[in-house]
Chains A and B, each alone.
Chain A
Amino acid sequence: MTAIAFPAPDATILARRGEIIAGLTQLVPAECLVTSDIEMRVFETDALTAYRRMPLAVVLPRNTQEVSAILRYCNDLHVPVIPRGAGTSLSGGAIPQEDAVVIGVAKMNRILEVDTFNRFIRVEAGVTNLGVSNAIVAEGFFYAPDPSSQLACTIGGNVGMNSGGAHCLKYGVTSNNVLGVKMVLMDGEIVEVGGPGPDHPGFDLLGFIVGSEGQLGIVTEATLRILPIAEGARPVLFGFASSEIAGACVAAIIAAGIIPVAMEFMDKAAVAICEAFAGAGYPLHVEALLIIEVEGSETEMDAQLAQIIAIAQQHEVQVIRQSQSAMEAAQIWKGRKSAFGATGRVADYICMDGTVPTGQLSYVLKRTGEIVKEYGLRVANVFHAGDGNMHPLIMYNVNDPKEQEKAEAAGNDILKLCVDVGGCLTGEHGVGIEKRDLMRHQYADVDLQQQMRVRAAFDEAWLLNPAKVFPLDGRVMG
C-alpha cells in the first residue's frame, strides 16, 4: 500500500534473534533492553507514522562504553543498527527494520559541563534540545537551533539531522553551533572530534558527522556553542493580501541589510488551523502572515521595527500587530510552533521540507497550491521565509491508501520543483526513507557515489541506519 520500499530482512539474522538478544544481555543490564513486542511497539516508527517496522530488539545504553560494546557486538555479527534519539524524525530517519537493533540514547541525558565564560556546554546525546537551554537560562545563555520539536527531540537526533528552526536565519543551523562530539564508530572505536577551542588539526570531520543521519557513528556526547540571551525579543505579525506580496516584503527586508532573528511565513490555511488551536490572535482574513522577530534593547527593537514596518507599508501591509507583553509574544510563537500539532487535529498530513532560493518563494508557493489541487488534496504552508525553507503540510486521510499515495506523489512533485528552481530536497528534516529515492533528482550519480564512499569510510559494511538517505540500488562501498 505504501510507496517507499524497505529492504527484505535478512532471514539468517531473524533466525538468530534469541541468540543475539542473549548476547546483548551480557552487555547491558535488563532494564536497558526492550525485546517484547508490546514494549517495542513504541519504537516501531518515528514521526513519519505512515511507515512502521518492528525491530529485532531495542537497547537503551547508559554511557559511551556500553554503546561501544553493543556496536562492536553487532558489527561482529553483521547486524544492522538504527540509532534513535527521541523518535521525532519527520523523514523516517529513525524507523527500524526487522533485522536491526535500535540503539536509543534516551538514558544518556546528563549535562556534563557548563562553561559560560568559554561559552560552551557539554551534554550527553539524550538531553533534549530545550533541556540544553534550560540548563543555562539562569546564567543568561541559550542554545540557538530551535526545531519545533525542541521540547522532545534530543541533541543526538539534532546532530544526526543537522536540525534547524525558526531562529536559524540569524544564528545558523546545528552544524554552525556544534563544536565537538564524542562518537562511537560501528566497530566500537570511540573517537573525539573537535572541542571548545577554535582550531583542530586534521580534516573537519564534524562537517560530515553533523547531518549524517546516524550513518557514520553514534554520537554519545556533544559540545555545543551557547550564546548570551538578547536583552529582549519582540515578534510582530504582518498580514498581507497575497503570498506574492509577503514574499516580496521578505526579500526587501533582507535587501535593506536587516537580518531579523526570525521571519516565519504562514498562508491562510495555516493561519486558520493554528488560530483555532492556539487562539494567538492571528488575523483570519489575510492571505499571508509573516511573524518577524527582532531582538535587543527596547531602543534597538524600536529602531529596527520602524525600518521593517516602513518596508512592510511599501508592500501594502494590511495588518500590523505588535506584541505588548511577554505573554502576547509567547502566544504569537505558540501559534506558529504548534502548527504541526494543530494540523494533526484537522487531518492526517505529511510535512514537506524543501528549501528554495528566496527569490523563488512566490512561484513555488503558487505551484505548490496547483500541484496539491491537481491531486484533489489540501495544503497548508508554514515555513521559515528568511532562508527559503518551505514546509507544505499536505493533508489527506491516512485510512485511504489511494489518498496516501496521492499525498506522497504530490509531495514528491513539490520537492522536485524545489530542486528545479535551484533549491534542495530537505532544509532541516533530513532525507531518511522519505526522500531517499528522490536523491537522484538532486544529485548526479558521481555526486552520490562520492558521498557513499565517504559514508563507507566510516562504516565499511553499511550497517548503520542502512536503508536511509541513499537509494537502495547502486550503492558504492569504500
Chain B
Amino acid sequence: MTDFFPTSEAEAAAFISDCAAAGKTIRILGGGTRARLARDIAADAQLSTQNLTGVTLYEPAEMVISARSGTPVREVLALIDQHNQMLPFEPLDHRTLLATTGEPTMGGLAATNASGPRRIYAGAARDHLIGARFVNGRGEIVKSGGRVMKNVTGLDLVKVHCGAYGTLGLLTEVTFKLRPKPERVATLIYKRLDEASAIRLLGEALGSPFEITGAAYLPIGHGRDFSRALLRIEGFDASVSYRIDELRRRFAAYATPREALEGPDADRLWRAVRDVEFLSAPAEAPLWRLSVKPSDAAACVAHLRAIDGARYFYDLGGGLIWFTDPSGQNAALIRDTLAAMNGHATLVRGPDALRQAVPPFSPLPAAQEKLMRSVKHAFDPQRLINPDLMYPGL
C-alpha cells in the first residue's frame, strides 16, 4: 500500500484524481485516533492529512474558525481558549476508549461527528459545522457552506460529512461556529437514586427552563460505590447561583444534592463522561453505543442487564447508553432490543474477529439504504474513498 502525505489541497486532489484514473482505492487517515471505529478495510493507497494543517481563519468577534483538516484539535482549542471561546459540542476524544495514541484532528472530529455531553443542549458537531472544503471521488475540489451562521444557498453538502467517516470525500478544511465559554460551570450531584428515578430526574430537569448542559447517570461502581445523577449548569455567575437554588428546590423530592461541584474536579468528571473513561478497561471488551428515547432507557437496560459482566452508564439524559458486553456473544440480543424500541446500537469497540462478524452500524431499511448508495455514487462514483468502511459495498 502506498502512503501519501499531501501538503496542500491541490496535491491531495491531484493524488485522488490519479487514483480515480487508475481505479485505485484510498483509505483516509487523520491522526489515527479514531481509525478503529467502523469497519476494517483494505485499500490500494493511504492518504494522511497530517501535513494539511493550520488555522486559515479565526474571527473571535464573529465566533467562527476555519482549519485545515489535519490540524490537531488541541491546537484549535488552545487558540480559541485565549479568546474565552469553545467548540460548543464538547468533542469526544476517542483515545481512551479505543486505546489509540496520536493527535485527534479537526477533520477526524468532523467525519465522526464526535460530540460530548453538551450535545444535549448545544447540538452535535454537525450542528456547528457551517462550511467545508473537500475532494470528492472524482478528484474535484468542492466547497460548500461558508463562514456565516445562516446560509441556505443551495443544497447543504456540509452536514452529511459528519458521521460519514470520510466515505464521501477527503475533507480538506472545516469551518465551525464557536460559542463563548461560560463564566461559571457547576454540577449538582444526586446520589443513590435508582435508574428509573434518576432518568426521570434528568428528563424533568431538561424540561425545566434552566438550560441544563449536561445530564448523565453513573450507576454504582463508576468512580464511586454509590450511584450519581449529574446535572450541569453553565452561564453567568448570577444565573448559575439562581439556577442551582431553583433546581435544588424543584427536585428536592428526589434527593438533596450537596454543594455543587465546580472547578477541576468537575471538569475531570465531565471529561470522564465525555470520553467514556469508566468503560475504557479492559481495552478489548466490546463496547456499544445505544441510542434510545430517554423514557425507554431504563427499560432498555433492564432487558440487557443480565448479560454476563455488563457495565453501562447513561449520558444525554438517558438517550445515550454506553454499554459493555465482555463476552461479545450478545450482539443479536443488543440489536434486537434496541430495534424493538426504535433505537439503534453501534458497535464502537471490539476485538477484530467480532468487528468482522458484526456490522458496526444498525442495518438500514431498504429505501434508506438505496438512497445512501445513490448519495455515495453522487460523491464517489467508483467507490474509491474509504470503500466498505461503513457498510459492505458502500
Using CB atoms and an 8 Å cutoff, list the residues of chain A in contact with chain B: 115-119, 140-141, 161-162, 164, 168-169, 172-173, 175-176, 185, 189-193, 195-208, 210-212, 215, 228-231, 251, 254-255, 257-259, 296-297, 299-300, 303-304, 355-359, 384, 387-389, 422-431, 435, 439, 442-444, 446-451, 453-458, 469-470, 478
The interface residues of chain A lying within 8 Å CB-to-CB of B374 are: 457-458, 478
With both chains docked as a complex, state the minimum distance between the C-beta of A451 and any C-beta of chain B, in angstroms: 4
The listed residue with most B CB atoms (<10 A of its CB), out of A175, A199, A231, is A199
Q: Say which residue of A195, A427, A447 sits within 8 Å of B148 (CB atoms).
A: A427
Q: Say which residue of B63, B144, B344 sits within 8 Å of A200 (CB atoms).
A: B344
B101 interface hit (Cβ, 8 Å)? no
Cβ of A208 and Cβ of B160 under 8 Å apart? yes
Cβ of B153 and Cβ of A425 under 8 Å apart? yes
With A176-B123, A198-B316, A201-B364 already in contact, the answer to whether A427 and B59 are too (CB < 8 A) is no
Q: Say which residue of B153, B180, B292 sits within 8 Å of A257 (CB atoms).
A: B180
With A254-B61, A450-B157, A451-B157 already in contact, the answer to whether A229 and B209 are too (CB < 8 A) is yes
The interface residues of chain A lying within 8 Å CB-to-CB of B163 are: 203-204
With both chains docked as a complex, state the minimum distance between the C-beta of A219 and any C-beta of chain B, in angstroms: 14
Q: Say which residue of A424, A456, A458 sits within 8 Å of B153 (CB atoms).
A: A424
Please report which residues of chain B, range 150-189, place their CB below 8 angstroms from some CB of chain A when the two chains form the complex: 150-160, 162-164, 168, 179-181, 183
B291 interface hit (Cβ, 8 Å)? yes
Against A, the Cβ 8 Å flags (1 = close, 0 = not) of B279-297 are 0000000000101111100
Cβ of B344 and Cβ of A359 under 8 Å apart? no
With both chains docked as a complex, state the minimum distance between the C-beta of B296 and any C-beta of chain A, in angstroms: 9
Cβ of B154 and Cβ of A469 under 8 Å apart? yes
B216 interface hit (Cβ, 8 Å)? no
Q: Say which residue of A196, A202, A297 sits within 8 Å of B364 (CB atoms).
A: A202
The interface residues of chain A lying within 8 Å CB-to-CB of B295 are: 115, 117-118
* A191 CA to B59 CA, complexed, in Å: 40
**Please, which residue of chain B has its CB at the minimum distance from the CB of A118?**
B293
The interface residues of chain B lying within 8 Å CB-to-CB of A197 are: 291-293, 319, 342-344
21 contacting pairs across A/B (C-beta < 8 A): A118-B203, A164-B150, A168-B150, A172-B123, A189-B367, A199-B344, A205-B368, A207-B159, A254-B180, A300-B239, A303-B236, A357-B147, A388-B150, A422-B148, A423-B148, A427-B151, A443-B153, A446-B141, A450-B140, A458-B374, A478-B377
Using CB atoms and an 8 Å cutoff, list the residues of chain B in contact with chain A: 59-64, 84, 113, 119, 123-124, 126-127, 136, 140-144, 146-160, 162-164, 168, 179-181, 183, 203-204, 206-209, 235-236, 238-239, 242, 246, 289, 291-295, 316, 319-320, 342-344, 346, 361-365, 367-369, 371-372, 374-379, 390-391
* A431 CA to B371 CA, complexed, in Å: 24
* A296 CA to B236 CA, complexed, in Å: 12
* A437 CA to B109 CA, complexed, in Å: 35
With A172-B127, A195-B342 already in contact, the answer to whether A388 and B148 are too (CB < 8 A) is yes
Q: Say which residue of A119, A201, A203, A449 sits within 8 Å of B344 (CB atoms).
A: A201
The interface residues of chain A lying within 8 Å CB-to-CB of B142 are: 446-447, 450
**Please, which residue of chain A has its CB at the minimum distance from the CB of B374?**
A457
Q: Say which residue of A175, A195, A255 sits within 8 Å of B61 (CB atoms).
A: A255
Cβ of B155 and Cβ of A208 under 8 Å apart? yes
The 6 closest A-B pairs by CB, nearest first: A207-B159, A257-B180, A427-B150, A457-B374, A387-B149, A453-B378
Cβ of A207 and Cβ of B160 under 8 Å apart? yes
* A197 CA to B320 CA, complexed, in Å: 8
Q: Apart from A192-B368, A204-B164, A359-B61, what are 17 other A-B pairs with CB-CB below 8 Å? A: A118-B295, A175-B159, A197-B319, A198-B316, A201-B362, A205-B368, A205-B371, A208-B159, A228-B207, A303-B239, A357-B148, A358-B61, A422-B146, A423-B146, A426-B153, A427-B152, A457-B375
The interface residues of chain B lying within 8 Å CB-to-CB of A388 are: 62, 148-150
With A191-B371, A197-B319, A231-B209 already in contact, the answer to whether A422 and B162 are too (CB < 8 A) is no
The interface residues of chain B lying within 8 Å CB-to-CB of A387 are: 148-150
With both chains docked as a complex, state the minimum distance between the C-beta of A377 and any C-beta of chain B, in angstroms: 24
The interface residues of chain B lying within 8 Å CB-to-CB of A259 are: 179-180
Cβ of A435 and Cβ of B153 under 8 Å apart? yes
Cβ of A457 and Cβ of B378 under 8 Å apart? yes
* A234 CA to B336 CA, complexed, in Å: 49
With both chains docked as a complex, state the minimum distance between the C-beta of A68 and any C-beta of chain B, in angstroms: 11
Q: Say which residue of B151, B206, B209 sits within 8 Å of A424 (CB atoms).
A: B151
Cβ of B208 and Cβ of A228 under 8 Å apart? yes
* A141 CA to B208 CA, complexed, in Å: 9
The interface residues of chain A lying within 8 Å CB-to-CB of B146 are: 422-424
Cβ of A203 and Cβ of B291 under 8 Å apart? no
Q: Say which residue of B62, B242, B289, B378 sits within 8 Å of A357 (CB atoms).
A: B62
Cβ of B59 and Cβ of A300 under 8 Å apart? no
Cβ of A208 and Cβ of B148 under 8 Å apart? no
* A176 CA to B152 CA, complexed, in Å: 13
The interface residues of chain A lying within 8 Å CB-to-CB of B372 are: 202-203, 205
* A33 CA to B110 CA, complexed, in Å: 46
The interface residues of chain A lying within 8 Å CB-to-CB of B123 are: 172, 176
Q: Say which residue of A201, A206, A430, A469 sits within 8 Å of B361 (CB atoms).
A: A201
**Please, which residue of chain A has its CB at the minimum distance from the CB of B370?**
A189
With both chains docked as a complex, state the minimum distance between the C-beta of A71 and any C-beta of chain B, in angstroms: 14
With both chains docked as a complex, state the minimum distance between the C-beta of A170 and any C-beta of chain B, in angstroms: 10
With A359-B59, A442-B153 already in contact, the answer to whether A203 and B164 are too (CB < 8 A) is yes
* A297 CA to B376 CA, complexed, in Å: 48
* A274 CA to B375 CA, complexed, in Å: 46
Q: Say which residue of A193, A199, A296, A470 sits within 8 Å of B368 (CB atoms).
A: A193
The interface residues of chain B lying within 8 Å CB-to-CB of A212 are: 155
With A197-B292, A197-B342, A254-B61 already in contact, the answer to whether A162 and B152 are too (CB < 8 A) is yes
**Please, which residue of chain A has its CB at the minimum distance from the CB of B293?**
A118
Cβ of A211 and Cβ of B368 under 8 Å apart? no
**Please, which residue of chain B has its CB at the minimum distance from the CB of A306?**
B238
The listed residue with most A CB atoms (<10 A of its CB), out of B61, B158, B316, is B61
**Please, which residue of chain A has its CB at the minimum distance from the CB of B204?**
A117
With both chains docked as a complex, state the minimum distance between the C-beta of A371 and any C-beta of chain B, in angstroms: 20
With both chains docked as a complex, state the minimum distance between the C-beta of A91 and any C-beta of chain B, in angstroms: 9
* A210 CA to B155 CA, complexed, in Å: 9
**Please, which residue of chain A has its CB at the minimum distance from the CB of B84?**
A257
The interface residues of chain B lying within 8 Å CB-to-CB of A229 are: 209
